[in-house]
Amino acid sequence: MFDASKIVTIFGSSRPAEGDPDYAQARELGWALAEKGFVVCSGGYGGVMEAVSRGAKDAAGRTLAVTATFFGRKANRWVDDEIQVETWEERLFELIRRGDCYVACKGGTGTLVELAVVWEMLNKGVMRRKPFAALGEFWRPIVERIREVEHGHPSPWNEREERLLYVASTPQKAVEHILRELWRLEHKSEAGSGK
């Protein structure tokens, strides 16, 4: 069994407010992750970041935020532990470094950058294989267009051999994917080490 205190880093828009479908979906995701024992990590501000933190607290889970003085804002009230860095670039790489798994919720250019950087780091083998899900049909056309390039040409990179990013239609499916991938990766590692 995997270590249930693993950190899932969530990326997503700061725009949704309580009452918006994207806020409700992110809150459900935070609850579902915390209910399985995961620590929920986000960028710590409003929107999706607030909703996943709030959902995790609804399930008595632990929350972590990585914020940046660059933004000049305080972390939302559902954050247990805050790590503050100076720049948005440091924040991005600290969010990635902290994560054992990742979920990208619907978002704008900032979320697109976060999704692309994690996907590229997995694709190029810059970091070890980790579960990664994009939540919602919003991401499907973007992911499929990128795959046309990755799969349409000879390439030594990881995405050609194995899909590194799973598009989950619901928060529950994202959590199921993470659990399944953690189990698979742990057993693959054990098989490789002769255990």
The reported pLDDT for the residue numbered 23 is: 98
Domain ranges of the chain: 7-193
Domain 7-193 matching CATH 3.40.50.450: the answer reads yes
Convert the pLDDT of each residue in 110-137 to its tens digit.
999 999 999 999 999 999 999 999 999 9
| Residue 55: Cβ-neighbour burial (10 angstroms; 0-12, 13-18, 19+) | buried
Contact 8, 38 (CB under 8 A): yes
Convert the pLDDT of each residue in 132-181 to its tens digit.
999 999 999 999 998 888 777 777 776 767 889 999 999 999 999 999 99
The reported pLDDT for the residue numbered 1 is: 37
The reported pLDDT for the residue numbered 4 is: 54
Q: Which residues of 140-175 are buried (b: 16+ CB within 10 A; e: fewer)?
A: eeebeebeeebeeeeeeebbeeeebbbbbeebeebb
The reported pLDDT for the residue numbered 159 is: 73
CB-facing half-sphere around the CA of 110: CA atoms within 13 A:
18
